Amino acid sequence: MKRISVALLGFGVAGQAFSRILLKTHDAILRDTGYDAVVTAIVTGSRGTLYNPQGLDLAEALRQMNEEGRFDEKSPDFSSMNAFEIVDTAEYDVVCELTPLNIETGLPAADHIRRALNRGKHVISANKGPVARFYRELKNLAGEKGVCLFFETTVMAGTPLLNLADECLPYCKVDRIEGILNATTNYILKEMAKGVPEDEIVRRGREEGFMEADISMDTEGWDATAKLTVLMNVLMDAGVTPDDIDRTGIGSVTAEDIKKAAERGNDIKLMCTAERTADGKIYGKVAPEEIPDRDVFSDENLVAVVSLYTDLMGKITVLQYGLETTQTGYGVFSDLIRVIKNISR
């Protein structure tokens, strides 16, 4: 029996959802691949660290976090190590970068990834910052070290968008991307169209757990910009950062704007667009736009949607319905399975 060990940097929604999926599928993975997948480290910013090179009790880790709000300092696996110490010294084969996004610098997440790659470790990232800011550098470093660098969860959670392009569209050139990539703004605009006051929309969103206390990253377009940057870098080799994107959030959109758009048979959505021009330059834009209410982008049941315009396969559209925590964890999990497949070849 072979073993693949995982270190989790962060144990929020993505980390906990991944852990529940791994617990559920562990025996099937072992049966199908011959690999015993274990988690040896879990690091949080303020709620403690667990480390056991032989493997942690994931069910117990989840219980402690959910019932006590932090890891038990009396646990034999409790550790004082921080994220960098785990990355630099712990025993693991794959590190999962699940820390909060810093869109301005991509740090410290990018440094976690660099140091893990330099140790010859595989990396899975749910953090958009490093891919948006340092994609080419990190991709080249992973290639130099002969390890995997996967990041499906950075865009549309577990929806297989990046993996689709990587695995199923060989030699296809993407010349245009259109999409709705931020679920929060999509929800806000949809509820505004129903006449719900903005403060009520935000209150409900926070109560249901999918809106942060500070929603400015969403409403000002930064989250969508980071995701578009990832798509441009990965699918179009654009070599851009979020600073290169023409960004406008939804802060100036009013209920009256939405009403007038509806009278014209349109909805307002925060659209993300990237296009390769005739001279080879690639331009990216995030801004509210009027969309015909019969267009797929206006489907009120959608959380996110992306259309890729390719030279060999034409237009391909990927739709995401629902926004469950399991989807975010599944993106990390599916990347782990890709790592196992890669090292099994």
| pLDDT for 301 | 82
Q: If we measure between CA atoms, which residue out of 219, 210, 324 comes closest to residue 270?
A: 219
Q: Which residues pair with 289 in a beta bridge?
A: 269
Query: 11-15, 84-88, 334-338 — which is least confidently predicted?
Result: 11-15
CA 338/CA 29 separation, integer angstroms: 12
The amino acid at 101: L
All domains of the chain in start order, with CATH: 2-157+326-344 (3.40.50.720), 168-321 (3.30.360.10)
Q: Do residues 133 and 241 lie in contact, with contact meaning Cβ atoms separated by under 8 Å?
A: yes
> From CA 14, how far away is CA 107, in angstroms rounded?
19
> Is 308's pLDDT higher than 70?
yes
Instruction: Name the pTM for this structure.
Output: 0.93
> Over 80: is that where the pLDDT of 228 sits?
yes
- Mean pLDDT score of the chain: 93
Q: What is the pLDDT of residue 209?
A: 66
Strands (E), the chain: 2-9, 35-43, 49-51, 78-79, 94-97, 122-125, 149-150, 174-180, 246-247, 266-276, 282-292, 302-310, 314-321
Q: φ, ψ for residue 163 (rounded to 5)?
A: -70, -30
For the segment 64-85, what is each residue's pLDDT rounded down to a tens digit?
Answer: 999 999 999 999 999 999 999 9
pLDDT over 70 percentage in the chain = 99
pLDDT reading at 325 higher than 80: no
